[in-house]
Amino acid sequence: MEDQERLVAVGDVELCHDVIGDDRDPVMLLIMGLGFQLVHWPDEFCRQLAAAGYRVVRFDNRDSGRSTHVPGTRYTLDDLADDAVGLLDALGAGSAHVVGASMGGMIAQSMAIRCPERVRSLASIMSTTGRRGVGRTSPRVLRHLVARRPRTEEEAIERRVRVFADVGSTGFAQDLDEIRRVTREAFRRDPDGRDGRRRQHRAVRGAGDRTAALGRVRVPTVVVHGSADPMCHPSGGRATADAVPGARFELIDGMGHDLPPGAWPRIVSAITANAARA
């Protein structure tokens, strides 16, 4: 079944989340990246995970979507990881299979480091360890980070299309209609999210190198990365897999910094096979 979006109190913030799947199945927690929202986990992608036997929970990080925005405050990746653990508490879930994309992968890594008893398996997608020199962003996409904020829904949509023309997959077809649809939904959920993205970005920049700490992670781990990712170079994924004992590395040829439908079979298979190892 699919739940409506709900707000739950987690410490000083409220987190917006929804659930796809059977309440009796083990929880699979999906954590999205910087400035992105729960709606950026495609519905059908989530249904495929749920069909494999998981209760899929996706949520807005603080400072994104319908979760609490916290102007004037500073926080860390560890704080974002604590938010995710607090969401599990609110849902009555002792542990979960944790899947994170981009910044969400960093948060998922922090959860596995800080609260290993809460993480049944770890999937880190298009992310990195925080070590300097790996997972670098291509200069050609940096211009998008300093572009002026879109003032209208249509400006937001066209800007997102331009961004994904640079950061999206080269080896898989892009669904431009879906990019436009989800961007419209995201804009309506959070029309003025730029300041929140800046605070999230500050948390990422302030995070240290997790390489040594990842060496203590003992949960089943898979690292998924695209060979054509200009936002986070594949070296970031390789470094993550090298850091976690026994981690599996899944390099998808032609995938960029997105979740193209053509890559879903491999991504879903990698996540569910890794979860089965737990």
Per-residue pLDDT tens digits for 60-79: 999 999 999 999 999 999 99
d(CA 196, CA 212): 29
- pLDDT at res. 208: 94
User: Considering the domain boundaries, does residue 109 fall inside one?
Assistant: yes
d(CA 44, CA 25): 18
d(CA 153, CA 157): 6
User: Considering the domain boundaries, does residue 165 fall inside one?
Assistant: no
Strand ranges across the sheet with 55-59: 6-10, 13-20, 55-59, 27-31, 96-101, 119-125, 221-226, 248-252
> Is pTM beyond 0.85 here?
yes
Taking only the tens place, the pLDDT of each residue in 252-268 is 999 999 999 999 999 99
User: Considering the domain boundaries, does residue 232 fall inside one?
Assistant: yes
Report percent pLDDT > 90 for the chain: 89
Q: Using 50, 70 and 90 to split pLDDT, how confident is the model at 145? A: low
Report residue 252 as tokens.
């998808």
User: Considering the domain boundaries, does residue 173 fall inside one?
Assistant: no
User: Worst-scoring range by mean pLDDT, 2-16, 78-92, 233-247?
Assistant: 2-16
User: Considering the domain boundaries, does residue 167 fall inside one?
Assistant: no
Q: Using 50, 70 and 90 to split pLDDT, how confident is the model at 206? A: very high
User: Considering the domain boundaries, does residue 48 fall inside one?
Assistant: yes
Domain count, the chain: 1
Is pLDDT of 222 > 90? yes
Domain that holds residue 109: 6-138+194-276
User: Considering the domain boundaries, does residue 168 fall inside one?
Assistant: no
Assign residue 242 the CATH number of its domain: 3.40.50.1820
